[in-house]
Amino acid sequence: MIEALVHPIARLASAGGPVLVVIALVAVLLFTLALERLIYWQWRYRRQRQALITRWQKRHEHVSWSARTLRECWCGELISALRASLPWLKLLVALCPLLGLVGTVTGMIQVFDTLSITGVGQARSMSDGVARATLPTLAGMAVAVVGILFTSRFEHIVRREDQYLHDRLTRATEIDHA
């Protein structure tokens, strides 16, 4: 059972070269960080946000400069925690196409080595080099596109949560003064 799963992956890794394995490891790290952020946002952040709103509502004074500064500080800390691994996600997304380019270059070097050794008549050995050149490029771009989709969606969530948090705290203040 395990061999049936591992054999195609090993074959793909040998066809794409060591760069494809590195891209796969970067993809695993990228998607692990993305999953961690989603889990954090769904469970922990929402509880922290509600606790912050409750803490703000329990304050007796909301309109002074120090109260507003405190509110901004609390909001900033919470949004910073939500945004914590976003720079790492962006870095990994930017790294994927570069790794794909490295795979392209190493694959093309293999094609040129094959041409210099065997001549133009060895199509099979040239096709291995072309596969080694195109697979990492394709994998790097595919991982980057999915990573860009996630990071842009998550940035939208962070902006929305920042606005929502400020709106909720403002409404809590207005309710107390009404």
Segment 58-114, tens digit of pLDDT: 988 888 899 989 999 999 999 999 999 999 999 999 999 999 999 888 888 877 877
- pLDDT tens profile 120-159: 666 666 777 777 788 889 999 999 999 999 999 999 999 9
* Residue 122 backbone class (left: φ over 0; alpha: ψ -120 to 50; beta: rest): beta
Q: What is the pLDDT at residue 121?
A: 63
Q: Which two tokens stand for residue 121?
A: 């008549």
Q: Which residue range(s) make up the domain with 160?
A: 2-177
The contacts of residue 134 (CB under 8 Å, 6+ apart) are 104, 107
Specify the number of domains making up the chain. Answer: 1
Question: Residue 174 burial (CB < 10 Å; 0-12/13-18/19+)?
Answer: exposed
**What's the distance, CA 27 to chain centroid?**
9
Residue 53's closest CA among 153, 168, 158, 175? Answer: 168
Look up the pTM and report it.
0.82
Say which range, 27-31, 43-47, 122-126, 158-162, has the weakest mean pLDDT. Answer: 122-126
Q: What is the pLDDT at residue 108?
A: 84
